Chains A and B, each alone.
Chain A
Amino acid sequence: MNSSSSPAHEPPPVRPGLDFSPPRTLFDKVWDRHRVHAEEGRPDLLYVDLHLVHEVTSPQAFEGLRLQGRGVRRPDRTVATVDHNVPTWPRSLPIVDPVARTQIEALRTNAAEFGIELHDVNSPHQGIVHVIGPELGLTRPGMTIVCGDSHTSTHGAFGAIAFGIGTSQVEHVLATQCLWMDRPPVLRVELSGRLARGVTAKDLVLALIGKIGVDGARGHAIEFAGTAVRALSMEERMTVCNMSIEAGARCGMIAPDDTTFEYLAGRLHAPRGKAFDEAVADWRTLPTDPGAPCAAVASLDATQVEPQVTWGTNPGMVVPVTGRVPDPDSLADAREREAARHALAYMDLTPGTPMTEVTLDRVFIGSCTNARIEDLRAAAEVVRGRAVHPRVRAMVVPGSTAVKRAAESEGLDRTFVEAGFEWREAGCSMCLGMNPDILDPGERCASTSNRNFEGRQGRGGRTHLTSPPMAAAAAIAGRFVDVRHPEGGA
């Protein structure tokens, strides 16, 4: 910077914070901050700020440590809970499945032996790992966060780099608090406009996956930006980032802003007082710099998005509720046609059927995608004063014990139970059919979860992904209905 001052004047001081380095994305800033070692031809060695652990992907990792005589490097950066295998019936009842019991007991033994905090079944902080992290103020902007679960991307809603890892990587993080990772390219997803009434963050992200496909973001870190994103609450942002993995992304992120800081203020593990103010000042420097290059861009106008329902066996096989089951012959690519035919056979759906004629046997409101308090409020609003259709068995599974208690203090549990829903304890439940909550072969389910793969909710089970208000309306009508119209609900 040149000042054309005459010798009689002092050159103006350099503005504090002026930075001549090239503009960087949010992703780049967080990544660069966490590099322990970088070398040509190798991935970067990244430091992990927070390692979340659950009972399914950790037993072999701890066993590996034990066999090699290694300990956990940073127990203070490691937090465990039980969520995948835990039954959602009352906690006083025993766990019937011997393998689930063994995994949960293994986690208890491992947590005690290696000195790790465990939020066990009776803890007020227990819940789905991607629900409790943010709740407890463990998840914060600018962090690197990993867990042996693909929906770790959820935490990216706070402007953290958060992604799922395999069990060997879980063991590696436990032993070294680091991870070898190739830096992914950034895909900037511009979500413009604003969600219309009755349309949720779940619909927004399903519409996006419908548009770009289940491998549309493969290998990329997504940065979600735009007016529609800024208008989302933290819980809505979590829903969007949660599903980014379903577009094939490595992770998804949203830059922190005042909405983020307000959410975090006062949370159990968040910084307090002066430390909080200093943290916020630092977090304000994270958003993407103007002009920062990214590898690719995609966009979607949120204003045009309608309530969505999947028809097929991956999240990209989705249409608006006003649409119809597609005709495979109308698809351009031969493999896609074959995949669609295969999916329709599995789902027992006929091309051309309006989605509002698809009838249901089960409804599941839950999962790390959509089981936070705002999701339950939205569903309760649709349900209030109505009754679950006689053919339908419907359940609500809060994402955490804290969400459950908050919902009960608002009377939402009574609303659901009076309408005929089952009201359960917190856990992953029927998202993935690993615990007693499971579909029977052929049962068709409206689900607020994140995957509709063949057999995901139970062998032969037929999953339709949708939003909480849409699932609630479907429970009442016994079929899919458009929540935006009076006869469909709120």
Chain B
Amino acid sequence: MKPFTVVEGTVAPLDRNDVDTDQIIPKQFLKRLERTGYGPMLFHDWRTLEDGSPNPDFILNREPWAWAPILLAGRNFGCGSSREHAAWALSGFGIRVVVAPSFADIFQANCFQNGILPVILAEETVGTLMKRATRPTGYRMQVDLERCTLTGEDGFVSPFEVVPYRRQALLEGLDEIGLTLQLEARIRSYEAREGAR
């Protein structure tokens, strides 16, 4: 996992609440064995028409949002199925940050595991940014994980909060298993104590 420090780029607005993981990555793509290559399948059913051609109306198919590293969405983003493929699809597409008023829990955890930073902002603030991000010229922001600030090209600034150990892991590009195995002795003593259950 690459360390995450600062991400800068266009913000793609997805002005919907309760975007579920079936929309982020439909089930027909869960059959692959790999962890990579899911970028083209992101939001597949919204991004493609029945005949397989790109939907010209979907935000990520249009300039200037087609290469956006930052996604802006409504509340409860990532609800539904636990499929980590949702995070792989976002990161495969190039999304490094998702900004929303709230996230579903499993999805949020999957983001951190895959180098994507979920940023929670107040619903009103998200609403304001949605309007800016929807302008035909687009809207650029910088997300700084070291300082925990969001800065917009027009001078908008907001702090955000990230749980400290999650922030540290993203900054260092850390794998969780290696961290846990440092506590091997504790796991062994738990098993010795409680093993029979």
Q: Which of A36, A73, A150, A214 contacts B106 (CB 8 A)?
A: A150
Residue of B whose beta carbon sits closest to that of A70: B177
- Binary interface profile of A, 152-169, with partner B (CB < 8 Å = 1, else 0)? 000000000000111111
Contact of B27 (CB < 8 Å), options: A70, A165, A433:
A433
- The answer to whether B17 touches A335, judged by C-beta atoms less than 8 angstroms apart, is yes
Residue in A42, A166, A214, A441 whose beta carbon sits within 8 Å of that of B76 in the complex: A214
Residues from 72 to 87 in B contacting A, C-beta threshold 8 Å: 74-76, 79-85, 87
Query: In whole angstroms, what is the CA distance A63 to B112 when docked?
Result: 20
State which of B30, B82, B102, B191 has its C-beta within 8 Å of the C-beta of A166.
B82
Min CB–CB distance B64 → chain A (angstroms): 24
Interface centre among A45, A142, A148 (most CB of B within 10 A): A45
Q: List B contacts of A178 (CB < 8 A).
A: 180, 187
CA distance A13 to B104 in the complex (A): 51
Contact mask B98-127 → A, CB, 8 Å, 1/0? 000010111001100110000000000000
Task: Evaluate contact between A434 and B190: CB separation under 8 angstroms.
Answer: no
Q: Which of A94-102, A254-262, A477-485 contacts B (4 or more CB under 8 A)?
A: A94-102
| Chain B residues positioned under 8 Å from A56 (CB to CB) | 30-31
How many angstroms from the CA of A171 to the CA of B180 in the assembled complex? 12
Chain A residues, Cβ within 8 Å of B50? 441
B18 at the A/B interface (Cβ < 8 Å)?
A: yes
Q: Please encode chain B, from 169 to 197, with 1 for each CB lying within 8 Å of some chain A CB and 0 for all others.
A: 00000001100110100110011001001
Contact call B83/A57, Cβ cutoff below 8 A: yes
Q: Is the CB of B84 within 8 A of A57?
A: yes
* Interchain CB contact under 8 A, A177 and B187: yes
Which residue of the partner chain, among A149, A169, A176, contacts B187 with CB atoms under 8 Å?
A176
Cα distance A441–B197 in the bound complex, in angstroms: 48
Contacts of A314 in B (CB 8 A): 18, 20
Q: Which residues of the other chain, B, contact A42 by a CB distance below 8 angstroms? A: 165
Known contacts A63-B33, A100-B31: A215-B186 contact under CB 8 Å: no
> With A169-B109, A454-B45 as given contacts, are A176 and B177 in contact (CB-CB < 8 Å)?
yes
Contact B31–A103 (Cβ < 8 Å): yes
User: Which residues does chain A contribute within 8 Å of B191, judged by CB atoms?
Assistant: 47, 177
- List CB contacts (< 8 Å) of A42-82 with chain B: 42-43, 45, 47, 49, 56-57, 59-60, 63-64, 68, 70, 73
Q: When chains A and B are docked, how far (Å) is the Cα of A250 from the Cα of B108?
A: 12
B18's partner among A180, A219, A339 (CB-CB below 8 A) is A339
Q: A49-B197, A97-B31, A166-B87 are in contact. Are A36 and B176 (CB under 8 A)?
A: no
Please, which residues of chain B bring their CB within 8 A of the CB of A108?
none
Q: Give the complex CA separation of A455 and B98 in angstroms.
A: 23
Closest to A451 in B: B80
* Mask of B16-35 contacts with A, CB within 8 angstroms, 1/0: 11101011001110111111
Query: With A180-B180, A459-B26 in contact, is A148–B82 under 8 Å at CB?
Result: yes
Q: B20 and A453: CB pair below 8 A?
A: yes
Taking the complex as formed, is A490 at the interface, i.e. its CB lies under 8 A from any CB of chain B? no
- Is there an interface contact between B197 and A142, defined as CB atoms closer than 8 Å? yes
Any A CB within 8 A of the CB of B164: yes
- B residues in contact with A59, CB < 8 Å: 33
The residues of B that contact A166 with a CB separation of less than 8 Å are 82-84, 87, 106, 109-110, 113
B-contact bits for A168-184, CB 8 A (1 contact / 0 none) = 11011001111010101
Instruction: Please indicate the chain B residues that have their CB under 8 angstroms from the CB of A41 in the complex.
Output: 163-165
Task: Kindly identify which residue among A60, A148, A168, A175 contacts B34, using a CB–CB cutoff of 8 Å.
Answer: A60
Chain A CB within 10 A, most for which of B27, B33, B176 = B27
Docked-complex contact B31 and A60, CB < 8 angstroms: no
- The reply to whether B45 and A215 contact each other, CB–CB distance below 8 Å, is no
B157 nearest CB across to chain A (Å): 26
**B-chain residues with CB within 8 Å of residue A106 when the two chains form the complex:** 33
Residue among B16, B82, B106 with the highest chain A CB neighbour number at 10 A: B82
Chain A, 283-326, contact with B by CB distance < 8 Å: what is the 0/1 string?
00000000000000000000000000000001000000000000
Judging by beta carbons under 8 Å apart, are A164 and B31 in contact?
no
- Which chain A residues in 173-226 approach chain B with CB under 8 Å? 175-178, 180, 182, 184, 214-215, 218-219
Task: Point out the residue from A34, A68, A99 that lies within 8 Å of B32, measured CB to CB.
Answer: A99
Whether A453 contacts B27 by the Cβ 8 Å rule is no
> CB < 8 Å: which of A63, A149, A168, A456 contacts B114?
A168
B80 contact set on A, CB distance < 8 A:
150, 451, 453
Asked if B102 contacts A215 (CB within 8 A), the reply is yes
Flag if B197 contacts A37 (CB, 8 Å): no
| Contact partners of A215 in chain B: CB under 8 A | 18, 75-76, 79, 102, 104
Closest Cβ of chain B: how far from A270's Cβ, in Å? 13
Least distance between B49 CB and chain A CB atoms (Å): 11
Q: Is the CB of A218 within 8 A of B104?
A: yes
User: In the complex, what residue of chain A is closest to B27 when comparing beta carbons?
Assistant: A434
A:431-457 near B, CB below 8 Å: 432-434, 441, 451, 453-456
Specify the chain B residue showing the minimal Cβ separation from A177. Answer: B187
Would B180 and A172 count as touching, CB distance under 8 A? yes
Contact of A33 with B by CB under 8 A: yes
- Closest 7 pairs between A and B when the two form their complex, measured CB to CB: A99-B31, A166-B84, A164-B82, A168-B113, A166-B110, A150-B82, A167-B84
21 A-B residue contacts at CB 8 Å? A37-B183, A43-B165, A47-B191, A85-B31, A102-B31, A102-B33, A148-B84, A150-B80, A164-B82, A165-B109, A166-B82, A167-B35, A172-B176, A172-B177, A182-B163, A215-B102, A432-B81, A434-B27, A434-B30, A454-B22, A456-B27
